[in-house]
Structure 1
Amino acid sequence: MKKLSKFLPLLAILALVPLLASCSKISDYTLDLRSKLTGIPFTVSTYDYNGQKIDQIKAKSVHIETYKPMSKKTSDGDEQSKVIDVEYGGHQMIHVGSSLIANEGLKNYQDTFSKNVTIKNDQRSVPVLSIMYNNFRNDWASKGKVIMVRSQAGMPIAVYAGNSVRVSATDMPSTTKINVDGHRLFIYRCDYSIYDMSTVKTM
Structure 2
Amino acid sequence: MKRKSKLLIIFAIIVILASFSGCAKIKDFIAVKKGELIGGHYIINVYDNYANKTLTVDGKKITVGILENNDGDDSSSEGFDSSVLEITINGKQMIQVGNTVIFAEDGLDMIEDFDMPEEITIDNGGGFVPIDRFVNNIKNKIGKSKTIIISSQLGIPIGVYQGNSVYITVPKDLPKMTRLNIDGKSLYIHRANYVILDSNLL
Q: Tell me which interval the TM-score lies in, with the shorter structure as reference length.
A: 0.7 to 0.9
- Find the counterpart in structure 2 of residue 30 from structure 1: 30
Pairwise mapping of residues 112-127 of structure 1 onto structure 2 (< 5 A)?
113-125=114-126, 126-127=128-129
Greater shift, 118-127 or 155-164, is seen at 118-127
- Find the counterpart in structure 2 of residue 6 from structure 1: none
CA deviations 1:38-90 (Å, max 9, x no partner) are 1111000111111111111001111111112369xxxxxxx942201111101
Structure 1 residues 116 and 52, CA gap change in structure 2 (3 angstroms): farther
Instruction: Report the identity percentage.
Output: 31
Pairwise mapping of residues 2-41 of structure 1 onto structure 2 (< 5 A)?
21-41=21-41
* Matches of 1:157 and 1:91, distance apart in 2: 27
Pairwise mapping of residues 74-85 of structure 1 onto structure 2 (< 5 A)?
80-85=81-86
Structure 1 residues 154 and 116, CA gap change in structure 2 (3 angstroms): farther
CA deviations 1:92-129 (Å, max 9, x no partner) are 10100010000012111121x21444321111422211
- Find the counterpart in structure 1 of residue 87 from structure 2: 86
Name which of 170, 175, 182 aligns with 1:180.
182
Pairwise mapping of residues 49-198 of structure 1 onto structure 2 (< 5 A)?
49-69=49-69, 80-104=81-105, 105-111=107-113, 113-125=114-126, 126-139=128-141, 141-170=142-171, 171-198=173-200
For the 8 Å contact 2:18–2:30, the answer to whether it is kept is: no
Question: Which TM-score applies when normalising by structure 2?
Answer: 0.81
Structure 1 residues 195 and 100, CA gap change in structure 2 (3 angstroms): same
* Matches of 1:27 and 1:70, distance apart in 2: 35
* Matches of 1:166 and 1:199, distance apart in 2: 17
Gap regions ≥5 residues in structure 1: 1-16, 72-78
- Find the counterpart in structure 1 of residue 4 from structure 2: none
Aligned-pair CA distance for 1:21: 2.0
Greater shift, 100-109 or 17-26, is seen at 17-26
Give the superposed CA RMSD: 2.1
Structure 1 residues 70 and 189, CA gap change in structure 2 (3 angstroms): farther
One-letter amino acid matched to 1:23: C
One-letter amino acid matched to 1:118: E
For the 8 Å contact 1:66–1:84, the answer to whether it is kept is: yes
One-letter amino acid matched to 1:150: S
List structure 1 runs of 4+ shifted beyond 4 angstroms: 17-20
Question: Which TM-score applies when normalising by structure 1?
Answer: 0.80
Structure 1 residues 114 and 97, CA gap change in structure 2 (3 angstroms): same
